[in-house]
Amino acid sequence: MESEVNRRVLCQRAYAMKKHRATRLHYDLRLEWNGVLLSWALPEGPGYRAGVLREAIEMEDHRVANLLFEGVHETGPIMLWDRGTWEPHPEFEDIESCLRKGILRFTLYGEKLKGGWMLARTNRNAPRPVWRLSKLADSFAESTTDKSILEEQPNSIRSGRTMEEIVRDWTRPKNKCARQIKLFDEN
């Protein structure tokens, strides 16, 4: 039993969902793997009802150091909307193969998003490959009568702040130094 627990811990890697108000508001899914963050931009955010497909545009890998960043980037304010760990479902543990084939099933252990999810590529020939993110049916999936989790839990999981508060705090004098250090390449 202990080895099973250890295996599960070892297999879990960092996960984050960012909320990013760039030219348009969108969400950014980050899955740590092999020393980088696999990244998808979600124009409508995640759908938490089973079977609802949400567009997920494949982005370049991001640096793990940026995982928990929250603040104002040159592209716009970024909120850490959810965080936790993830692991692929047993038959999807060969991540390289999954990325080649364009299909990945995995579990999120976030504070907001939990349970089974699927990423499936629908167009690899677009300027950026297009995938669909969907919630798999399980006890975590929202019922059809619920409001969207995006509306019910809109604030930061790191600080509880709204996007407006993140912007306000960033422009206060005490953050001048932080603003001047360009450590982050979030997009």
Residues that bind Mn ion (CB under 5 A): 20, 28
CB of 41 to Mn ion, least distance (A): 5
CB of 30 to Mn ion, least distance (A): 10
CB of 13 to Mn ion, least distance (A): 20
**Identity of the residue, 88 or 110, whose beta carbon is nearer to Mn ion in the bound complex:** 110
**Identity of the residue, 44 or 142, whose beta carbon is nearer to Mn ion in the bound complex:** 44
Which residue is nearest to Mn ion, using beta carbons? 20
**Identity of the residue, 28 or 87, whose beta carbon is nearer to Mn ion in the bound complex:** 28
Strands (E), 3-152: 13-21, 25-33, 36-42, 53-63, 71-73, 76-88, 103-110, 114-123, 130-135
Cα distance between residue 86 and residue 56, in whole Å = 17
Amino acid at 96: E
What stretch of H or E contains 100? helix 95-101
**Identity of the residue, 105 or 112, whose beta carbon is nearer to Mn ion in the bound complex:** 112
Place of tokens 């030219």: 23
Radius of gyration of the chain (CA): 17
CB of 81 to Mn ion, least distance (A): 11
